[in-house]
Structure 1
Amino acid sequence: MNATSASRAEAPVDSAPARRVLVWDAPVRVFHWLMVLSFAGAYLTAESERWRLLHVTLGYTMAGLLAFRVVWGLVGTRHARFASFVRGPAAVWRYLRSLVSGQPEHHVGHNPAGALAIVALLGLTGLVTAAGWATYNDLGGEWLEELHEGAANAMLAVVGLHLAGVLIGSWVHGDNLIGAMLSGRKAGAPEDTVRSAWRSVAALMLAAVLGFWAVQWQSAPAPDAAMSASHHDRDDD
């Protein structure tokens, strides 16, 4: 975003336009909710041998979603691109000070603090999935498994901070940010709107994920066989 957007971002919330425009395209929204579902499912099944295939499948899904988001962050719509919302420490500090002062900066896309959390979540996703893949394929020792678990716990903590930031931002700015990630619309000026929602790309991404899940489901061992293998592994130990 250019100088026009930058100056608007520095304006207090009172001057933010009330009109609702399309900000988040369909691929960003589908990515977001698939990532939420995949991380939650993977985290909840992490300690269960019975649900190990589901845990691994969701981990691979997260890796694929990460790859897509990196590409879309380079070639996607204006508010989806990293160049439009990734800022340095000074911008993050200025935004946090504006919150404390009671005159928060209005950002059509991600605000600098939210962008920091998003970058951290993407980085941790890469670390979690890489360490998990290596652990699953017995490419490292116990330290790698501990790294996988530690990164997952760190990711959960950042998710908590991100969610708190979303709730605070919704209250301070008077804009339902969770609802915006469902509808794609936020308060903005006409020139801030995204021209196309790119629903075709979102549909292809969703189809790819569902197709991958179907393949994994078809290759899953029968419950009795899986339990027998689990008991056999414990007997060998």
Structure 2
Amino acid sequence: MSRSVKVWDVPTRLFHWLLVGLVGAMWYTGQQGVLELHIRCGVLLLALLVFRLIWGVVGSQTARFSDFLRGPAAIRRYLAGDVSHAGHNPMGGWMVLVMLTVLLTQVGTGLFASDVDSMLYDGPLAHLAGGAAETMTAVHKLGVNILLLLVALHLAAIVFYRVVKKEALVPAMVTGRKALPYGVTPPFFAPVWRAALCLAAAAGLVAAILRFA
């Protein structure tokens, strides 16, 4: 037996869908060579990622890294049929960490990258990279392919869970609710004002780095 339980808070859901939109916008603007808009989207994405790192420490239970980053034993139990996870399962939790790491690397290298072809637009911190700007640009371009692969794996996982496990992941990230067994304790949620403070801190940190670096 199961019942519908709220598992995802509003800040986490907003982060997810804003991330989808920004990654899509950055891919498109990068492909089309609209580099000024590409850089602006990158700065917004960096602030969003910094917010997620902070929220992963002080946010709601299912948003915290301590809730979904588990060791090999938890992964084995999950593969054996353990479904007592309100938020991310152990495998999905590590996928979140990989995705965040790749995105941070992508944004970080973009800050120091230099458009050596047109010489029109450089990353906001390209002046600090010196001779390493070309390397940063190469890593940034390679990272696009890695990110696209991760996105494809993520979409494949969504289809797998829907078809094989009969679990709809997308509606849960829209409504915040999913079906859980009665034995699973509902997660706790942090207040929205805390998320607002985290977002303000993230935006302020990114703005300070770009202004004073």
Pairwise TM-score range, normalised by the shorter structure = 0.7 to 0.9
Q: Which residue of 2 aligns with 1:143?
A: 135
Q: How do 1:85-96 residues align onto structure 2 when only pairs under 5 Å count? A: 85-95=68-78
Could you tell me which amino acid in structure 1 is paired with residue 172 of structure 2? Answer: A
Q: Which residue of 2 aligns with 1:107?
A: 85
CA distance in 2, matches of 1:89, 1:38: 33
Q: Which residue of 2 aligns with 1:66?
A: 49
* Superposed CA offset, 1:124-166 (max 9, x none): 1110011000011432332211100111221121111112112
Structure 1 length normalisation: TM-score?
0.69
Q: Which residue of 2 aligns with 1:6?
A: none
Matched, 1:22 2:22: no
Q: Which residue of 2 aligns with 1:35?
A: 19
CA distance in 2, matches of 1:183, 1:197: 17
* Gap change, CA 1:178 and 1:206, over 3 Å in 2: farther
The answer to whether the 8 A contact 2:7-2:186 is kept is yes
CA distance in 1, matches of 2:149, 2:191: 32
SS in 2 for 1:193: coil
Could you tell me which amino acid in structure 1 is paired with residue 102 of structure 2? Answer: L
Q: Which residue of 2 aligns with 1:81?
A: 64
CA distance in 2, matches of 1:36, 1:163: 12
The answer to whether the 8 A contact 2:59-2:189 is kept is no
The answer to whether the 8 A contact 1:26-1:198 is kept is no
CA distance in 2, matches of 1:52, 1:167: 33
For the pair shown, the structure with the greater C-alpha radius of gyration is: 1
* Superposed CA offset, 1:19-49 (max 9, x none): 0110000000000000110011101111333
Could you tell me which amino acid in structure 2 is paired with residue 20 of structure 1? Answer: S
Out of 136, 160, 164, the position equivalent to 2:156 is 164
The answer to whether the 8 A contact 2:56-2:65 is kept is yes
The answer to whether the 8 A contact 1:131-1:148 is kept is yes
Identity %: 36
Q: Which residue of 1 aligns with 2:106?
A: 128
* Gap change, CA 1:77 and 1:208, over 3 Å in 2: closer
CA distance in 2, matches of 1:94, 1:205: 34
Matched, 1:52 2:45: no
SS in 2 for 1:19: strand
CA distance in 2, matches of 1:31, 1:117: 16
CA distance in 1, matches of 2:184, 2:74: 23
SS in 2 for 1:128: helix
The answer to whether the 8 A contact 1:25-1:184 is kept is yes
* Gap change, CA 1:207 and 1:72, over 3 Å in 2: closer
Name which of structure 1's ranges 60-69 and 132-141 shifts more when overlaid on structure 2.
132-141
- Tell me the CA shift for residue 107 of structure 1: 2.3
User: Which consecutive unaligned segments of at least 5 residues does structure 2 have?
Assistant: 114-122, 203-213
- Tell me the CA shift for residue 69 of structure 1: 0.7
CA distance in 2, matches of 1:208, 1:75: 13
The answer to whether the 8 A contact 2:162-2:169 is kept is yes
